[in-house]
Structure 1
Amino acid sequence: MVNWSDSQEEKIIEILENGGACRKCCQRFLGKKQSYLYKTVHQLEMDKMSENKQSKPNPCVVCLGILQDVYMMPRVNEIITSIKTSGYDADKFTLSISLPISLSIREHSLWLHLEKAGKDIIDGNLSKEDVTPLKQVWKYVYPELVTSQVGLTHESGDTADFYVELVVLWEKDTEEMKAMERLCPKEYAERAKKTNVYNMGVYSRQGVDNSLENIKYDNFAPEYPVPPAVPDKPFDLDFRMSRNSIWIGGRYNKYTRHLPQTPWLIKGVRKCGSSVEELIGDRLKEYLQCEQVKFLSSGREDVDVRMLGSGRPFAFECVNSKKTKLPQSNLDELTKFINDNHESVQVNGLSPVSKSSIKKLKQGEEEKRKKYTALCRTKDPYCLETLKKLEEMTDLVLKQETPIRVLHRRSNAFRDKVVHSMNITQVSPTLFKLEAIAAAGTYIKELVHGDFERTQPNLCTLLGLETDILALDVEEVFLEWPLEEKNGNK
């Protein structure tokens, strides 16, 4: 930090104030880094506001009023009220602010003004790099004010999971950015051509700062006013509250043969009124007050297949959930809330799970074993002795070509699948129950009827009889789920 004499400091402040800078921006341009200095200025401004001694000044030419309490404090109070009434059950939060890129041009302009008018004072003592960033000064003052009112702990960086993001808007931002095309015409013409590189727009803060770095007064002043023009009105502010996603895992049972796992659309036309995903997800979204829920599961069953036993492992990513504290009493309440929705879809074992554990859920989709029961029918009466020979077959390897019925959503390929065991229960001369334990991803319907020989071997070839399947149930998915999480929600 530069140690100015009183007279030097007064002269620099005079130059900056004559150029239209506010009191905090004057301190910034002096290179002052101590937070208490800015808090002192803030308190002085607040005292004047409370005593009605301060007429509303013009918005600062550099910060557009962002560091002027007469403009910022009403918005801070709005933010405090919004956080208090938002319904988020967070204990910690992070407050961030995003600034218009055009402020870089205004800051450069004021610096050139100071450099020219105060050359004898600052030459060799102060450079543009010494100017304290506007965002840093804002953080010195305002997050602490918000924290003291909302009852949450403020944390910087990525340690908190609840974010209040402020976006400063200025109606002339686009207009002012056009100055860069006049100051650096070749550079920004090239950027405009490279849409694949600059797909977020030709202007970035770092790019503009780099471009301005070597532009001196004589080249800058003809294209942009020095000092910057006084704004017609101060900044505007938009803000949103958001939260890191949480994941809720569990298992579901489906007791109907008329419900798909996910919304069933063919050419944009819905084929069933609802789905397992919607019957669970809509209730979950309502209970947790989420912005969105995203469904994940360990495999899937067809619309006409029931999911029995302990249920199919699933998880939902809950985006921007207001409610995340879920002791067992809340999980029980949530379970009942979902299960009361539809008697044919029931959940159990609901629990918060970690994002990293989702990998295990998806691995189970292809790597774990599943148990099935199929009601099968032969065209002609079968020989029970021949049928029972299926029980002697263990780890039977199938060559399965993608079934015709799923070719519309899966690429055609040959896959090796293993049927670990089969058990037979006779029902009638042409009906029997097949209980099979097979690798996840095995197409059991095709194991029975062969799918025009696209699955080899199949029951038709093994029994020497035309065989079809009448009904199929998934009895069990052998996967430890949900995983126990070591957190305060359990």
Structure 2
Amino acid sequence: MSIAGDDEQQQLLLELVQHIERRLATTTAATTLPHNADLNSADTAMAQQQQQPQPQQQTTGVSPNAARVLLDWLDQRQDSADRPPQQQQQQRGSVCSYCALRCMGAICSAVYALPRSVVDGQLVASLARHATTTAPPLESPSSNNHSNGSSNTSSNACVLCLGLLQAISAPASSLLDQMIDALDLPACDGFDNFAVQVQLPPAIAIHQRCFGAYLADPATDAPISGITPLPLLEVVKTMIGTQLARRTGLKYTSGTSGAPVVLHYRFDHAESVEEERALTQLPETGLRLPHAGDTGPRRHFHQQRDRNRARELVANAAASLVSENEGEGNNDSDAGVRAVAPPVAPWPHIFELDVVARAVAGLPVEKLRKFVAVPPRPVAQPAILGHSKFTRDPIFIGGRYNKYSRVVSQSPYIVGEERKGDTSVHELIAAPMLAYCGASEIKLSSSGREDMDVRMLGRGRPFVLEIADARRSSLTPDKLAHLQALVNDAAGGRVHIRDLIVAQRADIPALNEGEDDKKKLYGAVIWVSRPITAEDIAALTRPEEMVVQQMTPLRVMHRRAICTRPRSVYWMRAHQINEHYLLLCLSTQAGTYIKEFAHGDFGRTAPSIGSLLGNCEADIVQLDVLDIDMPWPPAR
């Protein structure tokens, strides 16, 4: 959906006027239309139904009395001086112009993108012309004794949208400022259009049902029936999208399928949680409170304890880098996108909107009145922005890394509650990139892995990073070089990356393709239990290929299938260091367990260094990967 120009806005306004006048001027049979229909098709269908003989007429338009009810509920009429005398002492809520349009069956979502002043003026003028001079009796909120947890202070927040549409459509909307600031949208790049996804408080479904029941109740002397309001979710998405597009210069797309970026916003309204709780007292709703001990909501928001620990560690490290840059007064745009991987605030509600909507849809009004107020009570506080999220297709960066520390694992190494090692290659590489790109998560894929106490030297190990939801994704060669320098500086000599390129998803399988043919070069310091002789050095210097049979090592049996694997040692060359130590360089097939080849793993690897030297023991003191024979990064 693009932003309406002056001509298009005038056309929308004309359609809005025609729709309002048709609704106010006709009494027709029930008209059910799809929510994506335009106003002209809606009016045409209504006119066709008027021309057809109807066996039984029922009120489906907006009668003069109903117009007066809507006019009195509009938030523009909240001044007590504008109310009839019998209502001036009542504490009651209000309805915004957009929600009044929804109640009147305005189903063209584009109309809700019109400025609030335009909608307000036209709706109030049309309703005022059509309304009766005396208002029908309104049900006093004091007639049923149910509270939604709000105070008795009257609020101008709409009881149907909980003030959201009012906040979004305000000329200088602070809510929109929060939504832009929460995702640091000015710092985002690499896209020119976006879509919006919204999660709304479940009380909206309760209030819509209660207000609809009130309007359709013959006791109000102004029933509005036969009209299906446009779902608030669609209106909120349309209004947020068009308003954000106006402020950012981007294009809003109404559907998510063709949008490269989706902005997710969740709105909370803690004040209305008691209304959800009240509905659980009605068996007909099927709503049940969470089990004892489960203090959070039923879905993913209360499952934070199950989040991946590695992701948390990387996100925390990235956030620390951003904080350090801010603390040093570094305002350079290359320092990172602010608010990296913001934590998810707990969902304050018990249920989801769609669950509550289904529960109250067919509930008799008589039972509904026993537990919630009909019509809805005033809203003391409007809904607030609870959480924001930026999603897009992942981007990929390929390269090679060297690891120079023997206390750094490739990925976070955690046994039970205890962490092994200082940090990890994953964290050292991903944290600066996560901060720079403003991403939500980075996954590391590599061609094999080295143990924590093994260094990765030479040209380095090939790797690919999958960067999810990157708000900064335009990576030119200069930016890749800058990003490479950021990582290497932050790593403090423990890890070094090189040869960065923009990769593709198809490159990830290539890291492990041809595993049986791949060669790796190692350098190992070997300890021997007896004095080393010249014959020992000659026995370990082999230019020819040798096949080693290796059963699954004891140290990895908990995560690998138990079997015997043949592995090739292509050549070996030994150099004596002193009486009990020697340096062994060897080229092997990928997947060879070098430590087990040295000490034999209690006979599970044969031959081994110890068996080749005769009756003695041997073990590795230090091990380094010197090279991985693989063409990488891939040429573009």
- TM-score relative to the length of structure 1: 0.79
Distance change >3 Å, CA 365–CA 298, structure 1 → 2: farther
**2:275 maps to which of 176, 190, 193:** 176
Using the aligned pairs only, state the percent identity.
Answer: 26
CA contact (8 A) 2:210 2:374 kept: yes
Whole-angstrom distance in 2 between the partners of 1:57 and 1:44:
23
Q: CA deviation at 1:135?
A: 1.9
Q: How large is the Cα RMSD of the aligned pairs? A: 4.0
Q: Which residue does the alignment assign to 1:9?
A: 62
Whole-angstrom distance in 2 between the partners of 1:271 and 1:234:
48
Q: Which runs of 5+ in 2 are unaligned?
A: 1-18, 27-60, 74-93, 123-153, 300-348
Counterpart check, 1:435 vs 2:586: yes
Whole-angstrom distance in 2 between the partners of 1:281 and 1:411:
25
Q: 1:73-222 alignment to 2 at 5 Å? A: 73-80=173-180, 86-91=186-191, 92-117=193-218, 126-127=226-227, 130-155=228-253, 156-184=255-283, 187-189=286-288, 199-200=298-299, 203-222=351-370
CA contact (8 A) 2:598 2:609 kept: yes
**Letter of the 2:539 counterpart:** L
CA contact (8 A) 1:184 1:211 kept: no
What secondary structure is seen at the aligned counterpart in 2 of 1:4?
Answer: helix
Q: Which residue does the alignment assign to 1:52?
A: none
**Letter of the 2:448 counterpart:** G
What secondary structure is seen at the aligned counterpart in 1 of 2:539?
Answer: helix
CA contact (8 A) 2:397 2:464 kept: yes
Distance change >3 Å, CA 247–CA 69, structure 1 → 2: same
**Letter of the 1:170 counterpart:** H
Q: CA deviation at 1:62?
A: 1.3
Counterpart check, 1:236 vs 2:310: no
**2:96 maps to which of 11, 22, 25:** 22
Q: CA deviation at 1:329?
A: 1.1
Whole-angstrom distance in 1 between the partners of 2:212 and 2:507:
52
Q: Which residue does the alignment assign to 1:488?
A: none
CA contact (8 A) 2:155 2:379 kept: no
**Letter of the 2:605 counterpart:** T
Q: Which residue does the alignment assign to 2:343?
A: none
**Letter of the 2:95 counterpart:** A
CA contact (8 A) 1:262 1:276 kept: yes
Whole-angstrom distance in 2 between the partners of 1:233 and 1:392:
80
Q: Which residue does the alignment assign to 1:312?
A: 461
Q: CA deviation at 1:328?
A: 0.7
**1:61 maps to which of 149, 153, 159:** 159
Whole-angstrom distance in 1 between the partners of 2:168 and 2:413:
56
Q: CA deviation at 1:28?
A: 0.9
Q: CA deviation at 1:118?
A: 8.4
What secondary structure is seen at the aligned counterpart in 2 of 1:284?
Answer: helix
CA contact (8 A) 1:425 1:434 kept: yes
What secondary structure is seen at the aligned counterpart in 2 of 1:188?
Answer: coil
Distance change >3 Å, CA 17–CA 319, structure 1 → 2: same
Whole-angstrom distance in 1 between the partners of 2:496 and 2:289:
59
Tell me whether 170-179 or 276-285 shows the greater mean CA deviation: 276-285
Whole-angstrom distance in 2 between the partners of 1:422 and 1:319:
40
Q: CA deviation at 1:250?
A: 1.5
CA contact (8 A) 1:109 1:225 kept: yes
Whole-angstrom distance in 1 between the partners of 2:422 and 2:288:
53
Counterpart check, 1:460 vs 2:558: no
Q: Which residue does the alignment assign to 1:225?
A: 373
CA contact (8 A) 1:253 1:308 kept: yes
Q: 1:380-391 alignment to 2 at 5 Å? A: 380-381=532-533, 383=535, 387=539, 390-391=542-543
CA contact (8 A) 2:432 2:487 kept: yes
CA contact (8 A) 2:595 2:620 kept: yes
What secondary structure is seen at the aligned counterpart in 2 of 1:414?
Answer: coil
Q: Which residue does the alignment assign to 1:448?
A: 598
CA contact (8 A) 1:419 1:436 kept: no
Tell me whether 468-477 or 98-107 shows the greater mean CA deviation: 468-477
Whole-angstrom distance in 1 between the partners of 2:415 and 2:180:
47
CA contact (8 A) 1:386 1:463 kept: no
Greater share of strand: 1
- TM-score relative to the length of structure 2: 0.63
Q: Deviations over 1:191-249 (max 9, x none)?
A: 86998xx9438633333222222222223223322211122233323342424454433
CA contact (8 A) 1:371 1:437 kept: yes
**Letter of the 1:23 counterpart:** S
Whole-angstrom distance in 2 between the partners of 1:206 and 1:81:
28
Q: CA deviation at 1:137?
A: 2.1
Q: Which runs of 5+ in 1 are unaligned?
A: 49-55, 486-490
What secondary structure is seen at the aligned counterpart in 1 of 2:287?
Answer: helix
Q: Which residue does the alignment assign to 2:402?
A: 253
Tell me whether 212-221 or 423-432 shows the greater mean CA deviation: 423-432
Whole-angstrom distance in 1 between the partners of 2:413 and 2:533:
37
Q: CA deviation at 1:455?
A: 1.8
